[in-house]
Amino acid sequence: MKQTASPQMHQYSKLEERLNAFTHFLGFALAALGLGALLLKSNGLIEVMSSIVFGSSMVLLFGASTLYHSVSNPRLKPILKRADHIAIYLLIAGTYSPFLVVAIDGWVSTVSIITIWAIALFGVGFKAIFKDKYPKLAVTTYAVMGWLALLIIVPIYNAVPLTGFIFLFLGGVAYSLGIPFYMAKHKHYTHAIWHLFVLLGAACHFYAIYAFVIGQTVVVQLPIAAFAS
């Protein structure tokens, strides 16, 4: 039996929605733990803020997705779907942030962080205004935002250890491989498979950031005795 939602909205079976909700509830729980781990490892204000932005964007994405797939109310469903899609823009920009603010610096960092967040905010406004119109354009925007990293691949490669760079790349590949499953809404259980690719992509990016970006900044503290002289 199908759930009753907006007639323009794809309707998943109850079992599909349970799987959709469960996969991203798992992501929500892991993201919350990951946010805490990032904050514990952060050195200095810049790393703390970067950890909050990235970790919170993961929590928001997985939380919004879990709520969307858990609720069957026909009035709430479209609103939560929009929030879910908006959170994707924020997660992409949030994932960039530690690399652009902590790992690299200079004009490349400044221009890149402004550009990626400007695109993300444009996407948020686009989704808020046009709602579920132009879904293919929205998915294309997600992919383009993600692979804009190719424009700054050299400074990121120079700033991050090779293993971290590989996991950053693998995360992008995981998200990209999941897109066909996201688009194949007419086939059963493909959305849950898409969720698994999102989990894998987020996990790769979390590992790259946690292990090779956050906690690498050396915070210089002057001894108290220096102020006593």
Say what the alpha-carbon torsion angle 101, 105, 110, 116 is, to the nearest 10 degrees: -50
Judge whether 5 lies within some domain. no
Which residue ranges are tagged as binding site for Zn(2+)?
Answer: 69, 191, 195
Judge whether 4 lies within some domain. no
Contacts of 68 (CB under 8 A, 6+ apart): 77, 80, 81, 83, 84
Which residue ranges are tagged as binding site?
Answer: 69, 191, 195
Q: What is the pTM of this model?
A: 0.87
Boundaries of domain holding 165: 14-228
Measured in degrees and rounded to the nearest 5, phi and psi for residue 47 equal: -65, -40
Judge whether 6 lies within some domain. no
141-159 average pLDDT score: 92
Tens digits of residue pLDDT in 164-210: 999 999 999 999 999 999 988 888 999 999 999 999 999 999 999 99
226 pLDDT more than 60: no
DSSP string across 110-166: HHHHHHHHHHHHHHHHHHHHHTTS-HHHHHHHHHHHHHGGGGGHHHHHHHS-HHHHH
**Domain at 21, CATH number:** 1.20.1070
Structure tokens at 176: 């990209």
Judge whether 187 lies within some domain. yes
Domains: count for the chain = 1
Judge whether 52 lies within some domain. yes
pLDDT for position 185: 80
